[in-house]
Amino acid sequence: MAEMTENIILESYDEVELLVTYTYEDVRQIEEGHGFHDLSYTDVNVTFIELVIGGESVKMEGKANLLPHLNPRQLNKIIGQLSIY
């Protein structure tokens, strides 16, 4: 597994960054049955999400990690913006 920290720049706002730390692993799987089927995928595990506005971290309950406060739909939107896709 590789660990990455990626800055996702929200283009519609000035000085707003979303910092996403995650691990990922490319899982290669090919099955045979009526031909070959590539079932490969990338397994992504987000470990930390920080919102920085004007150089300062936004904190919830005194912590910079916003991950526990996101619902699955919000998290999937962020994952879809990562450069590994």
Q: Over the stretch 15-73, which tens digit does the pLDDT of each residue have?
A: 888 888 888 887 777 888 888 887 777 888 899 999 988 889 999 999 999 999 999 99
Q: Over the stretch 10-25, which tens digit does the pLDDT of each residue have?
A: 555 678 888 888 888 8
pLDDT of residue 13: 67
Q: Tokens 């899982």 — which residue?
A: 27
pLDDT for the residue numbered 68:
96
Rg (Cα) of the chain, in Å, rounded?
16
User: What is the pTM for the complete model shown?
Assistant: 0.72
Please, which residues have CB within 8 angstroms of residue 53's CB and are 6 or more apart in sequence?
Answer: 13, 15, 16
Q: What is the pLDDT of residue 17?
A: 85
